[in-house]
Chains A and B, each alone.
Chain A
């Protein structure tokens, strides 16, 4: 079970206000959609939740522990933020193994499962540099979901994917949500976002301007 409480989160970068007093509470077993124009602050908010940026004021509290005070990063998290970045000279499996080696909690079987779930062949001998854009995106998603972390953050995960893969990824995310994972996703495709999300936050100029509870609407 995870709970993320964000209180008055504000961040400036080189004088520009990137996040402006963001407050929200996110709980496990739900998919949260972030929508907004390019540069609205969605990615920065995801970075802040991931522990990658340090806020000027406000706080992010995960399961009662404040980021950068009690913990440097969320304990169990998988992220895909902007472009997936991997080592070009290695295969997808090797890349994930290197990263799993850092977590120390994910075994080879879990890596294989993650790759298969997103439609990549674990036996593929091609190196990352020979991957298509879609394959790179899939590997980024596989990295985020491998070992099924409690929090999964995906920034524009389906942009470069074909229809079949999008369908597959959607099913994986819904499955993970049903297992009690807290998923945050940013997406430009309104229909897909509304289909997947339980709650949608609209972000504009670094502030949350709207919150829409989709699950209640459906009910």
Chain B
């Protein structure tokens, strides 16, 4: 019950009062939708066809991330700006509120609420719910922009078009696997990264933990490996789609491991932390 009281406060002060930051996924969705719409129009024009895409096609495109970086002087690797902005937007959302709440109001809040562990658990639930709202904002915005641009309101995918755009590999990915690699794994891994960042913001400092997360995402764009968990947020680099890729199941295991460590260590850390 104490945790719920803290959580209600966190959702009010940390989420609702800062809801303008959800403009980041909305703008991301708009830009990705415009890109996808152009691609669909060009495809139809070139093939003299009229393939109708769905809102899920739009979302899958928005969440594709970016292809593998290749060390080749003739290969120009595009700056992964949209993907990076989307990921960093959530990290920024998580970065400062919890630590400020602690350093500016910690004495009053903890004495009033009388539980260190509940306070920390509330922050972790707030972090998870923020990530969920962030992803929902991205999905809903993508759906709205897709509908405006004439997409059908279906959660199915248009395999023919996806094959034309992403290549033949996509035919090996079942619908449920596609949902796994484009929806579930990116959300899970991003949330786990946010939890670790949340913990680091108290153990080190908010700005440092934010910088470390930024650095991890930058490295993830250029190097694909399980120890750079940002790689799991890019479904184009999933083993379900590309044999060189990362197994999404290991992504889920890593996400669960990081989340358990962050929450558990946080409880221990706060139970012994001096509030000065």
Instruction: List the interface of chain A (C-beta within 8 A of B).
Output: 13, 47, 50-54, 72-73, 75, 77-79, 81, 85-87, 98-104, 143
Q: Does B6 contact A (CB under 8 A)?
A: yes
B116 A103 Cβ-Cβ under 8 A? no
B275 A47 Cβ-Cβ under 8 A? yes
Residues of B within 8 A of A50 (CB): 107, 111
Smallest beta-carbon distance A207→chain B, Å: 20
In the complex, what distance in Å separates the CA atom of A81 from the CA atom of B8?
25
Tell me the count of chain B residues lying within 8 A, CB to CB, of chain A: 25
Residue in B114, B115, B272 whose CB lies within 8 Å of A54 = B272
Residues of B within 8 A of A101 (CB): 5, 8-9
In the complex, what distance in Å separates the CA atom of A85 from the CA atom of B276?
12
- The residues in B between 89 and 125 inclusive whose CB is less than 8 angstroms from any CB of A are 104-117
In the complex, what distance in Å separates the CA atom of A72 from the CA atom of B2?
13
Q: Indicate whether A102 sits within 8 Å of B274 (C-beta atoms), given known contacts A79-B107, A85-B107.
A: no
A51 B272 Cβ-Cβ under 8 A? no
Residues of A within 8 A of B104 (CB): 85
Residues of B within 8 A of A77 (CB): 111
A85 B111 Cβ-Cβ under 8 A? no
Q: Does B253 contact A (CB under 8 A)?
A: no
Smallest beta-carbon distance A12→chain B, Å: 11
B108 A85 Cβ-Cβ under 8 A? yes
With CB as the reference atom, state the residue of chain A lying closest to B272. Answer: A54
Q: Indicate whether A99 sits within 8 Å of B114 (C-beta atoms), given known contacts A54-B274, A85-B104.
A: no
Smallest beta-carbon distance A133→chain B, Å: 17
Smallest beta-carbon distance A98→chain B, Å: 6
Chain B interface mostly helix, strand, loop or mixed? helix
Residues of A within 8 A of B275 (CB): 47, 52-53
B259-273 Cβ-contact flags toward A at 8 Å (1 or 0): 000000000000011
Looking at B13, B106, B112, the one whose CB has the most chain A CB atoms below 10 A away is: B112
In the complex, what distance in Å separates the CA atom of A82 from the CA atom of B275?
13
With CB as the reference atom, state the residue of chain A lying closest to B275. Answer: A52
In the complex, what distance in Å separates the CA atom of A68 from the CA atom of B85?
43
B274 A99 Cβ-Cβ under 8 A? no
A and B contact pairs by CB, cutoff 8 A, 11 listed:
A52-B107, A52-B274, A53-B274, A54-B274, A79-B111, A101-B5, A102-B2, A102-B109, A102-B112, A103-B114, A143-B108
Q: Indicate whether A85 sits within 8 Å of B105 (C-beta atoms), given known contacts A101-B5, A101-B9, A102-B5.
A: yes
With CB as the reference atom, state the residue of chain A lying closest to B105. Answer: A85
A99 B5 Cβ-Cβ under 8 A? no
Residues of B within 8 A of A99 (CB): 108-109, 112
B109 A72 Cβ-Cβ under 8 A? no
With CB as the reference atom, state the residue of chain B lying closest to A44. Answer: B276
In the complex, what distance in Å separates the CA atom of A77 from the CA atom of B115?
13
B108 A72 Cβ-Cβ under 8 A? no
With CB as the reference atom, state the residue of chain A lying closest to B103. Answer: A85
Smallest beta-carbon distance A129→chain B, Å: 12
Residues of B within 8 A of A102 (CB): 2, 5-6, 9, 109, 112-113
Smallest beta-carbon distance A216→chain B, Å: 32
With CB as the reference atom, state the residue of chain B lying closest to A84. Answer: B108
Residues of A within 8 A of B110 (CB): 51-52, 73
B274 A72 Cβ-Cβ under 8 A? no
Smallest beta-carbon distance B114→chain A, Å: 4
Residues of B within 8 A of A73 (CB): 110-111, 114-115
